Structure 1
Amino acid sequence: MNVRRIVSLALLLSMSSTATWAEDHPHASASDSPAPASRSIPLDATARDGLPREKAEFNAHGQRHACEGVALIAVLRRAGAMSAEPLRGAELARRVEAVARDGYRVTFSLAELDPSLGNRRVLLADRCDGQALSPADGPLRLIVPEDARPARSLRQLDTLTVLSP
């Protein structure tokens, strides 16, 4: 099949499909409907104020660190980016991307964070070893204590974005 024919067929298919997602999925619930393509999550102190503080330890570069902060899932829920109910349907394909000031990126699926599924503990730490984070590490750092190595314990957290496929 030549390229012109493929493009024509793709155009024809996209134009002939006028049904909305809800019409294509009549038995789906509202939580199954497609989520927005992306949602920025605030990281300022107000976004974390009043959330329960947690502690976690992790190893980095041969040193053990004791850190504290708030759970990533609590920040996501407060921002309305993740339901308190168990995830299902389209929500299982959503993910959160964390980006450091230097551009380093790590990703977690929301299913990985959901207590009823992966139950992965991730902390937004603002203190380690009894002190506020230094400018080289903070003001926020992700801590993933159960990871075998600290590759996702990203320092200098700059942005969090929840993405949908």
Structure 2
Amino acid sequence: MPASPTQTLALEDFLKLPYLEESPAWEYVDGVALQKPMPKTRHSFLQKRLLNAIDNSSNQYTALPELRCTFGGRSIVPDVAVIAWNRIQINQAGEPEDNFTQAPDWTIEILSPEQQANRVIDNILHCLRHGCKLGWMLDPDDRSIIIFAPHQEPEVCRGDRQLIAIAGIDLTLSAEQVFDWLKIDRR
């Protein structure tokens, strides 16, 4: 049975829960296990396009969907975790280790209608406090992207305002271009 939002547990116990890897993802914040909402169609379209755009813009970084990142007393699952290739631990078989125990270099969250924005922002800020270089929160309903950078005020981007990416990723996008990915041409 899934943990209730009022049940507190240790991080080690959370990581042993039998349903932890069920979809949608479970996160651990402040001693509480919380399940993310199930992604909807717009969320999935944006996530897919972001993954492709980032991967096609850099050889130094990779963009990974729904990667569990356990660090700083939390276990979170960003919609997109961008990580430098040289930070990915490799096992003896030459494959990536299953457990990623650091903050991503760049965390991207796509707000779902059922999601609480403050919980999402709290996870982005946690990432920044632990070495993350950049955070984005996309709000499809508002067609805006909030950019979070260490030691800076968040910036709300709409329309043709250019978005910033981390050094090593040659990505030129505006908020309008990102949300235009949702338009489907059926010709």
**TM-based fold match above 0.5:** no
Higher relative contact order (CA 8 A, sep 6+): 1
* Larger helix percent: 1
* Larger strand percent: 1
Tell me the TM-score normalized by structure 1.
Answer: 0.30
* Structure with bigger gyration radius: 1
Tell me the TM-score normalized by structure 2.
Answer: 0.28
